[in-house]
């Protein structure tokens, strides 16, 4: 159990940090921007534009908030179950994959928090240089987490010993005192 806790400490902290960053950013936007108000954030690259989304990513399922909340909740549960099953199977996740799971779960919980407390998700990040749906910090972090899982799956050893012992930074816990 101690080794399990040690392997999952950084991913859990990343998940909590992802949730907190998303929560803080949405709270700031709701307090400082009116609905539909746009403000330059990084000139020529990123604007802040307060909008809401009752659907899923990129407006999929708009107007079906309850269905999207149930679906998002089921996906979070499925990701946790997948990670748990992999850990218990003896073919544990690589450190980078565990970190990806932590980031995805924390960020998804940020959007779920919005769904449960606001009945909609606050979106506010808008690329200034390309036509792209407005999104939020959680959406971006979910992409980062998915990228980490893909990197882990593609580039890290598939042997159970290597999978289970590295942390998010690739350090081997066996080599530490």
Predicted confidence (pLDDT) per residue in 122-134, tens digit: 999 999 999 999 9
Predicted confidence (pLDDT) per residue in 102-118, tens digit: 999 999 999 999 999 99
143 is catalytic: no
Residues 153-175 have a mean pLDDT of 58
Q: How many CA atoms lie within 13 A of 28 on its CB side?
A: 12
Q: Report the alpha-carbon distance of residue 143 to residue 158 in Å, rounded.
A: 23
Prediction pTM value: 0.85
What percentage of the chain reaches a pLDDT higher than 90? 66
- CA-wise closest residue to 90 among 17, 162, 167: 162
pLDDT of 50 > 90? The answer is: yes
pLDDT of residue 175: 44
> Are residues 88 and 164 in contact, defined by beta-carbon separation less than 8 angstroms?
no
Mean pLDDT of the chain: 87
165 is catalytic: no
pLDDT of 48 > 80? The answer is: yes
Other C-beta atoms closer than 10 Å to the C-beta of 87 total 17
pLDDT of residue 164: 47
Residue tagged active-site, from 22, 123, 165, 167 = 123
Predicted confidence (pLDDT) per residue in 75-106, tens digit: 999 999 999 999 888 888 999 999 999 999 99
DSSP 167: -
pLDDT of 163 > 50? The answer is: no
- CA-wise closest residue to 158 among 101, 94, 102: 94
Q: Report the alpha-carbon distance of residue 35 to residue 37 in Å, rounded.
A: 6
Residue tagged active-site, from 22, 34, 114, 139 = 139
């Amino acid at each position: 159990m101690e080794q399990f806790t040690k392997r999952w400490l950084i991913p859990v902290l990343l998940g909590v940090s992802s949730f907190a960053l998303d929560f803080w950013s949405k709270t700031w936007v709701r307090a400082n921007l009116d609905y539909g108000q746009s403000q330059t954030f990084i000139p020529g690259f990123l604007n802040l534009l307060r909008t809401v989304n009752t659907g899923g990513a990129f407006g999929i399922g708009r107007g079906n908030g309850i269905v999207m909340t149930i679906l998002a909740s089921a996906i979070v549960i499925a990701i946790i179950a997948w990670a748990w099953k992999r850990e218990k199977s003896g073919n544990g996740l690589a450190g980078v994959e565990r970190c990806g799971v932590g980031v995805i779960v924390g960020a998804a919980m940020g959007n779920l928090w919005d769904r449960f407390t606001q009945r909609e998700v606050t979106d506010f990040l808008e690329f200034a240089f390309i036509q792209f749906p407005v999104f939020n910090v959680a959406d971006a972090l979910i992409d980062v987490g998915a990228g980490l899982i893909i990197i882990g799956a593609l580039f890290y050893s598939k042997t159970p010993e290597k999978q289970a012992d590295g942390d998010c930074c690739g350090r081997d816990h066996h080599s530490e005192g």
